[in-house]
Amino acid sequence: MQTALGLIANPVGTFQAASVLLRGAPSLAGWLAGWAITEFPLRVLTGHALSSVNAAPVNRFTAGLAAQRADSVLQEALTETHGSDYAEKVSHPVTDPTIRRHSVAGVWRAAQRSRYATVTRNLSYGPGGRDHLLDIWRRPDITLGAKAPVLLQVPGGAWALSEKRGQAVPLLSRMVELGWICVTINYSRSPFSAWPAHIIDVKRAIAWLRENVADHGGDPEFIAITGGSAGAHIGSLAALTANDTALQPGFEHVDTSVAAAVPYYGAYDLTDPANMCELMLPFLENFVMRARLADAPDLYRAASPIAHVHRDAPPFFVLHGRNDAVIPHTQAQSFVGALRGAGAATVAHAELPNAHHAFDTIATVRSQMVTDTVADFLGITYGRHRTGLDRVVHHVG
């Protein structure tokens, strides 16, 4: 509905883009069918039913097989990045040994986790009305002085929907359980707003958190960022362009750096049509960038996270589905290669077999495995932060 209204509000190029969307309808239907089949194959549904009876944890060779080998791929990503003892490096404000990991029976529990979070809704972080609203998730027992680590979630939606509710619930719920403050935002939508309004809004949200999140129990010195699809694109760009004054109009002096970035199935290079699905470039040209790639290559390059990689990049964990038909997994491969080639110190990468776009939407077995692994990655990064603070305090003492 929001995209349809946008077509009316922005008639320039509407006919061409609408034609492309219609031509792409079969491929979009194919993606949806593929997503449903791989996220809910018969053996997964059977495992869900059986586990609801005995509440047994997933076995890697039975129900774990239903998660399409995700467990081994995810463990390999963390082992390669942080060593075989990575689990010993994980640190969170809350440790609850009663919470099951990778549990098929936990699908229902994971779906209900958000009910046990306190949510402060629709706080304004800027002058943009609906586009500048955020929600804050936290445990009910988090005190205002807790200085809990903060995770900012940037929603996807083809740069056109950006609805803060309903996305990344499995991850946000898990991080709240572990004592984190989680923040979800709206931001400017295309075609009502053209690029770079989207990235400016995300940086504006980071600036707001830097100044205000302590009032909600968060630590303004530790803000990580995540997001899927368009949210992964914008979040990654924000992580790589900290304190870029051109992207911070009116708040140039604010520190917009982040402690870590975890993008899911994102677009990282907007300059290479060969590395996109057939719908993406026409949509970008007519609705998001409002300029043709051939006419404005510098605009597309500046909007591409891959063009901003550098050795001082924050820790990245890049996740993508191997069967993604919306944004090809080669986008993630190229981005990870560029980060590592630039000398970035911490770059983890997990390419999930048989996974499609938006594989984390529902708390399936695989989604839970991804959530637990991302929680470990963020916990390791936070543990390093806490160790650094302890050293500073000890040195001053």
Is residue 137 within 8 A of residue 118, CB to CB? The reply is yes
Find the catalytic residue in 173, 229, 236, 304.
229
Please say if 19 is a catalytic residue.
no
Helix ranges restricted to H, 124-279: 169-177, 197-212, 230-240
Please say if 320 is a catalytic residue.
no
Peptide bond into 196 cis (omega under 30): yes
Q: How is residue 397 written in tokens?
A: 């003492």
Peptide bond into 11 cis (omega under 30): no
Residue 158 neighbours by CB distance under 10 Å:
18
Residue 33 neighbours by CB distance under 10 Å:
11
Find the catalytic residue in 324, 360, 372, 376.
324
Q: How is residue 61 written in tokens?
A: 């060779």
Q: How is residue 378 written in tokens?
A: 């963020």
- DSSP class of residue 64 equals H
Please say if 71 is a catalytic residue.
no
Peptide bond into 191 cis (omega under 30): yes
**Residue in the structure block whose two tokens are 């919470």:** 99
Give the pairing type, strands 181-185 and 133-138: antiparallel
How far apart CA 279 and CA 287 sit, in angstroms, is: 12
Q: Is 159 helix (H, G, I), strand (E, B) or coil?
A: coil
Find the catalytic residue in 92, 216, 320, 357.
357
Spatial CB neighbours of 31, under 8 Å, sequence gap ≥ 6: 325, 326, 356, 357
Active site residues: 229, 324, 357
